[in-house]
Amino acid sequence: MATELSVILPRVLIVSRRSLRKNKFVDFVGEYHLDLIVAYGAVPVIVPRVTGVHMLLDSFEPIHGVLLCEGEDIDPSLYEAETSNLSLEELEEIKRIHASDTSIDKEKDTIELGLAKLCLERNIPYLGICRGSQVLNVACGGTLYQDLGKELTKHCPKEKRVVHIDYDNYDGHRHMVKVVVDSPLGFWFKDSLEEGKMEIWVNSYHHQGVKRLAQRFVPMAFAEDGLIEGFYDPDAYNPEEGKFIMGLQFHPERMRKPDSDEFDYPGCPFAYKEFVKAVVAYQKKLNGSTRVPKSLKLDQEMENKRKMIVKSFSLARNLYAAGHGIHPSYKESELAAGAEFLESNTALSLQQEKRLTQIGVTVRNSGSYKERLKLNGERERLARKVMDKMTVEHLSDLMSFYHMMGQICSEVLEKKLHDLVLNDLAS
């Protein structure tokens, strides 16, 4: 059963974060992310932050979704062409205050930007949380504030200033954001919004953020200082159809009541729920585009009926070759079976002609094949003579049965032509 589930469930790639423990590097991913992905029906596949992994991303196929989350600051050279307005003294101060986040990890940048661009190229569902939202914006040509305190907060009126990170209260820290009404966030949290207000309190842990939002995205939430806290691509958002491209600067997975797994709002896990819904739909769509039709199998009853038709063809061939009427030992029903079947299949369908053309067969070259399916005048006259001697009830039963057999024949022929096309393309 476990093996079957591992094959059936879609795969969500998550890149690990590197940490130093006992003088050794350790890769990890926050457990909340993993729990939610599993809970909603997907398998998290951790991509280790190891040198050279960015060249091995093809080895992680099939990729049905990508979730990128926490990590260090993104290399500023990847999004800022011009020199930052921050002074050397300010940059040094930022490194002292945010020592755990300001060390650039170029390998992680390369891996995650590669995955983000892959998702954008192939429309693979993507959810970016915190740093993951910043990666998504940078991958699409947007820019970031290198430090919110130095570049945004100090320029805001005091009543609009926001604390986006509290090192002493990681899980408990909250600040208010305003949700855009006609957005996925607005829909997820609609039951928790006070009348006339579009405000929720979110957990965040970052000192950088979106400065210029990439053109393809639309904001979903703003902090009081104007920082974009959530965005998505409306043209690539339809979870039921496998479409999901979104970034959230805050942490919905951490918005839980003290000493409890209960969420602050019912809408908190919806980003993960809808993301996995899109991942499942994307997997189905991907499997459908590569699925090879199964071989048609006949049960014993159908097999017996097929043999009747083959026998009818054999008897008719002998009769036609001899050039005389019905032999006393032949049963009318045996000849009638083949005649009725051929009469319902006197020509190729348009789709079958198209298949023949696809495998390089011209109309002239396939003429002999078509002619074998058409009755000449003499054979048609003889078949009608046989049918004329049958009762109405018998004719009605035969017509119903051989119409069904005609459909089966058409399906089998269609499959064989399909296989010929595949073989031709493979060669």
Mean of the pLDDT values across residues 368-394? Answer: 63
Residue 393's pLDDT is 63
CA distances from 367 to 62, 371, 405 (A): 44, 6, 24
Mean of the pLDDT values across residues 97-101? Answer: 71
Mean of the pLDDT values across residues 49-66? Answer: 90
- The pLDDT of residue 246 is above 70: yes
Tell me the C-alpha distance between 218 and 301, whole Å: 60
Which pLDDT band holds residue 134 (cuts at 50, 70, 90)?
Answer: very high
Residue 350: both structure tokens together: 């348009």
End-to-end CA distance of the chain: 38
Residue 422's pLDDT is 64
- The pLDDT of residue 334 is above 90: no
Per cent of the chain over pLDDT 70 is: 68
Which pLDDT band holds residue 180 (cuts at 50, 70, 90)?
Answer: very high
Residue 223's pLDDT is 93
- The pLDDT of residue 126 is above 90: yes
Residue 111's pLDDT is 94
Active site residues: 130, 251, 253
Q: Which residues pair with 14 in a beta bridge?
A: 46, 67
**Is residue 239 within 8 Å of 281, Cβ to Cβ?**
yes
Mean of the pLDDT values across residues 112-139? Answer: 96
Which pLDDT band holds residue 356 (cuts at 50, 70, 90)?
Answer: very low
**Is residue 48 within 8 Å of 14, Cβ to Cβ?**
no
Q: Which range, of 7-21, 33-47, 107-121, averages the lowest pLDDT?
A: 7-21
The highest-confidence range among 176-180, 297-301, 415-419, by mean pLDDT, is 176-180
Mean of the pLDDT values across residues 133-141? Answer: 95
Q: Which residues pair with 57 in a beta bridge?
A: none
The pTM for the full model equals 0.66
pLDDT digits (tens, 9 = 90+) for 206-224: 888 999 999 999 999 999 9
Positions of E strands within 103-148: 126-129, 143-145
Burial of residue 346 (CB within 10 Å: 0-12, 13-18, 19+) is: exposed
The highest-confidence range among 87-96, 144-153, 310-319, 321-330, by mean pLDDT, is 144-153
Tell me the C-alpha distance between 60 and 53, whole Å: 10
Residue 47: both structure tokens together: 């991509």
Which pLDDT band holds residue 249 (cuts at 50, 70, 90)?
Answer: very high
- The pLDDT of residue 123 is above 60: yes
Residue 221's pLDDT is 95
**Is residue 224 within 8 Å of 162, Cβ to Cβ?**
yes
Burial of residue 303 (CB within 10 Å: 0-12, 13-18, 19+) is: exposed
Q: What one-letter code names the amino acid at 209?
A: G
CA-closest candidate to residue 233, choices 246, 220, 250: 246
Mean of the pLDDT values across residues 365-383? Answer: 55
pLDDT digits (tens, 9 = 90+) for 254-286: 999 998 899 999 999 999 999 999 999 999 998
Provide the 8-state DSSP code for 195: T
- pLDDT mean across residues, the chain: 79
Identify the residue with better confidence: 11 or 418. Answer: 11
- The pLDDT of residue 3 is above 50: no
Residue 105's pLDDT is 86
Tell me the C-alpha distance between 317 and 422, whole Å: 34
Per cent of the chain over pLDDT 90 is: 39
